[in-house]
């Protein structure tokens, strides 16, 4: 694999769960690439399949009831699905690292922070105890824990939520992973702490060149952090584009609705746009487009036929019967906005 | 005991700091305090740990503010700042340990439990967790119907009619009247909670993080519903949230809380566009904006460290431990919530009506301190 190629390449991934309610197609045929050094945002509401995608990539799907039924997950050219579990353990935590939402449940409450950090480098890098201990202190220092040397032997409960998330990041970055998957890394945190953590991930990314997948429901977070975005709904990729393009000219009615339903603190607005209805019940999806019951553009065809994944331009795809039309409208709206801005300036 | 710092606070009898001069407030909160005594500080503690300070959580520590009919007052702050406790104390779901809550001039804190129950008809609450705040063994009809009956508004068939009407008002299909809470999604459950609050025709509703547990697309639905109900029923809201974007959207005025105290109060637009107090500045700059163009050029004020523990919080200005503008005096003086600009209040001794912009104030100067001292002197 070339240095500048894709670190990750997911092809037609399907992860299903067997439940009493029938088969839940949590992730149903998604395909995407992640370039080296790139930050990819995966956005979606609950039940969209964003977290299952993440767990599938590192094969942490509880089986049963879950199962990756098909697809290819190429990490640096190697298919994660066919790697023996022993070899996979050497990749997890070393070359692919994860940060989860809840830092309290992801740390062992009975183990000192030092021990938890040392385990990783002892296991993956063959460090001696002394080396690992020094490295643990260095990592805590890097993630901004003040007075790291005297706090390294603390237990998790002695740290605040923000500090625990820093410890998680320190653990994740201990072996300088090539891929960092952050699943809602700031959702449990206060906004000033969220700002600290996001700045930290940005800074560390610049220094190490790690590729990042950032999974979140918060459009504000992905706006400032990512190069490209995937929008998921009901286990499918609904839209995929460069971040700026996605925000300024969405080509899918769901993305458009989602963007309009977030209050923008920088502008005055009247009633907030609301997407009608409820997020889908993935066990009982309607025929046709899963978003059609809530979509304002939906027509008869949407309720009957599954929509095509339309390529709008080189890097922009949308799952919609009317992708081109929605995109054209977004472009027109963007132009109107820009004209308005110009006239205000003049 | 440690030395109490110089405290400049509005004693009772003085005009409250936040008033629009109309005298028409629906609810007046005066120097409200909720302290939780954790004990400690006894002889035994002193012998064992050498610590002789009594541990007190000052969750709400002297909050004074008016709420006007028909407005939405947004209360924003980070976890542990006391915003939920304040909301609960206003309705006496948590007993205040000091101060007053005047509802139409009557002090709720002095009412007996029985009299208070009568007042609950006017004062209702919407809770954060639509899962924990509904009785799983009651049907929707029973949940919404209970207050209708308890307060003698309607009974029997008339009650059922009222319940159906309420369900329609909040956008629930009235066919679901016999269903149980677990059969509904989070957003629908929040609608049930709203219908229950509306059942008694209240004037004032405390909404404690009503949208935090919901999906983005559902948050917009609930915010719009609450705004619609407000217009139709002339409701007054105290809207508590940590979500600054939601607060900005729904509120007329916003109060920012930090470790038990209000630190800034102003109109929603003003507080976002021209925050005065350093904490508010940092808080607002930390909110991610859903616009990559803005995010790319934005200067963020990243605060150091975490919110200190509310157990024996920092002396002086409680924000001084994290404040990039803090000077020695900030560690000693509790800043009063002062009117820096018309209808714009901030608690910071480093600014004053003459010098409202903290970035323009000379290093080490504390113009607000001089004003505060003048107040004391007179």
Exposed e or buried b for every residue in B358-377, given b needs 16+ CB within 10 A? beebeeebbbbbebbeeeee
The alpha-carbon gap from A263 to the nearest alpha carbon of chain B, in Å, equals: 6
User: Kind of pairing, strands B98-103 and B204-208?
Assistant: unpaired
Q: What is the per-residue pLDDT across A189-203, written as a single tens digit (0 to 9) for each? A: 788 888 888 888 888
Mean pLDDT of A81-104: 87
Residue-by-residue DSSP string for A258-309: HHHTS--TTS--SSPP---S----TTSPPSS-TTGGG-SS--HHHHHSPPPE
Q: Which one has a higher pLDDT value, A18 or B52? A: A18
How much is the pLDDT for A268? 67
What ipTM goes with this model?
0.81
Q: What is the per-residue pLDDT across A169-195, written as a single tens digit (0 to 9) for each? A: 889 888 889 999 999 888 777 888 888
pLDDT category of residue A4 using cuts at 50, 70 and 90? low
How much is the pLDDT for B8? 45
Q: What is the per-residue pLDDT across B73-128, written as a single tens digit (0 to 9) for each? A: 999 998 888 999 999 999 999 999 999 999 998 999 889 988 998 889 999 999 88
Mean pLDDT of A291-295: 93
- Test B216 with A217 for CB contact under 8 angstroms: yes
How much is the pLDDT for B18? 46
- Count residue pairs from A and B with Cβ separation < 8 A: 131
Assess A197–B contact: CB distance below 8 Å, yes or no. Answer: no
How much is the pLDDT for A214? 94
- Test B218 with A278 for CB contact under 8 angstroms: yes
pLDDT category of residue A116 using cuts at 50, 70 and 90? very high
Under-70 pLDDT residues of chain B? 1-23, 41, 49-52, 372-378
Residues 228-257 of A with CB under 8 A from B: 243-244, 247-248, 257
Assess A220–B contact: CB distance below 8 Å, yes or no. Answer: yes
Beta bridge partners of A17: A24, A66
Nearest Cα to A167, choosing from A185, A192, A191, A190?
Answer: A185
Mean model confidence pLDDT for chain A: 89
B216 closest CB neighbour out of A45, A161, A269: A45
How much is the pLDDT for B10? 41
Assess A137–B contact: CB distance below 8 Å, yes or no. Answer: no
Assess B252–A contact: CB distance below 8 Å, yes or no. Answer: no
- Test B302 with A196 for CB contact under 8 angstroms: yes
Burial class of residue A164, CB neighbours in 10 A (0-12, 13-18, 19+): buried
Assess B84–A contact: CB distance below 8 Å, yes or no. Answer: no
Beta bridge partners of B58: B35
How much is the pLDDT for A146? 79
B286 closest CB neighbour out of A146, A161, A191: A191
Asked if B234 contacts B267 with a C-beta cutoff of 8 angstroms, the reply is: no
Is the predicted pLDDT of residue A124 greater than 70, yes or no?
A: yes
């Amino acid at each position: 694999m070339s240095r500048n190629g894709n670190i990750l390449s997911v092809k037609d991934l399907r992860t299903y769960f067997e439940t009493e309610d029938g088969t839940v197609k949590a992730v149903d045929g998604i395909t995407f690439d992640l370039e080296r050094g790139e930050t990819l945002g995966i956005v979606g509401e609950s039940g969209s399949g964003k977290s299952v995608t993440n767990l599938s990539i590192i094969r942490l799907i509880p089986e049963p009831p879950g199962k990756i039924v098909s697809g290819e997950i190429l990490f640096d050219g190697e298919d994660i699905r066919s790697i023996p579990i022993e070899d996979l353990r050497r990749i997890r935590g070393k070359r692919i690292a994860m940060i989860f939402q809840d830092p309290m449940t992801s740390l062992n409450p009975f183990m000192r922070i030092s021990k938890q950090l040392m385990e990783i480098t002892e296991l993956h890098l063959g460090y001696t105890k002394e080396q690992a201990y020094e490295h643990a202190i260095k990592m805590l220092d890097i993630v901004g824990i003040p007075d790291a040397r005297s706090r390294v032997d603390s237990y998790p409960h002695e740290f605040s939520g923000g500090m625990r998330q820093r410890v998680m990041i320190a653990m994740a970055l201990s072996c300088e992973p090539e891929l960092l998957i952050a699943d809602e890394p700031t959702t449990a945190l206060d906004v000033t702490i969220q700002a600290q953590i996001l700045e930290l991930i940005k800074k560390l990314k610049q220094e190490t060149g790690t590729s990042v997948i950032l999974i979140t429901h918060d459009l504000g977070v992905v706006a400032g952090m990512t190069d490209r975005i995937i929008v998921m709904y009901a286990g499918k990729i609904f839209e995929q584009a460069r971040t700026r393009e996605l925000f300024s000219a969405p080509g899918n009615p769901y993305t458009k609705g989602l963007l309009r339903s977030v209050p923008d603190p920088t502008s005055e607005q009247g009633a907030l746009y609301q997407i009608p209805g409820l997020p889908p019940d993935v066990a009982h999806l309607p025929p046709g487009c899963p978003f059609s019951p809530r979509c304002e553009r939906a027509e008869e065809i949407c309720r009957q036929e599954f929509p095509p994944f339309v390529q709008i331009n080189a890097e922009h795809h949308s799952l919609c019967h009317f992708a081109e039309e929605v995109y054209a409208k977004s472009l027109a709206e963007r132009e109107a906005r820009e004209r308005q801005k110009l006239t205000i300036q003049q | 005991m440690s030395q109490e710092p110089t405290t400049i606070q509005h004693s009772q009898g003085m005009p409250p700091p936040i008033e629009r001069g109309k005298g028409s407030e629906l609810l007046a909160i005066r120097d409200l305090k909720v302290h939780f005594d954790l004990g400690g500080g006894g002889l035994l503690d002193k012998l064992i740990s050498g610590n002789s300070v009594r541990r007190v959580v000052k969750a709400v520590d002297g909050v004074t503010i008016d709420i006007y009919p028909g407005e939405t007052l947004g209360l924003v702050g980070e976890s542990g700042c006391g915003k939920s406790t304040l909301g609960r104390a206003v309705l006496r779901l948590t007993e205040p340990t000091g101060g007053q809550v005047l509802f139409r001039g009557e002090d709720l804190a002095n009412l007996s439990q029985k009299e208070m129950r009568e007042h609950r008809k006017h004062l209702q609450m919407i809770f954060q967790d639509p899962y924990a705040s509904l009785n799983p063994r009651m049907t929707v009809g029973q949940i919404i119907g209970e207050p209708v009956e308890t307060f003698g508004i309607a009974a029997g068939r008339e009650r059922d009619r009222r319940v159906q009407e309420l369900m329609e008002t909040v956008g629930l299909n009235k066919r679901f009247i016999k269903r149980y809470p677990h059969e509904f999604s989070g957003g629908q459950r929040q609608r049930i909670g709203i219908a229950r609050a509306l059942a008694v025709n209240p004037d004032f509703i405390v909404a404690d993080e009503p949208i935090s547990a919901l999906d983005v697309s559902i948050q917009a639905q609930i915010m719009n519903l609450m705004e619609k109900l407000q217009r139709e029923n002339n409701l007054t809201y105290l809207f508590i949230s940590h979500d600054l974007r939601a607060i900005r959207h729904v509120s007329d005025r916003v109060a920012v809380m930090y470790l038990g105290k209000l630190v800034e109060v102003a109109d929603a637009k003003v507080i976002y566009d021209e925050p005065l107090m350093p904490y508010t500045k940092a808080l607002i700059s930390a909110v991610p904006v859903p616009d990559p163009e803005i995010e790319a050029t934005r200067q963020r004020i990243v605060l150091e460290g975490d919110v200190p523990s509310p157990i024996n919080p920092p002396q002086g200005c409680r924000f001084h431990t994290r404040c990039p503008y803090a000077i020695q005096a900030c560690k000693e003086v509790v800043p009063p919530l002062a009117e820096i600009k018309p209808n714009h209040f901030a608690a910071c001794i480093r600014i004053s009506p003459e010098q409202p912009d903290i970035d323009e104030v000379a290093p080490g100067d504390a113009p607000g301190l001089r004003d505060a001292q003048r107040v004391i002197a007179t």
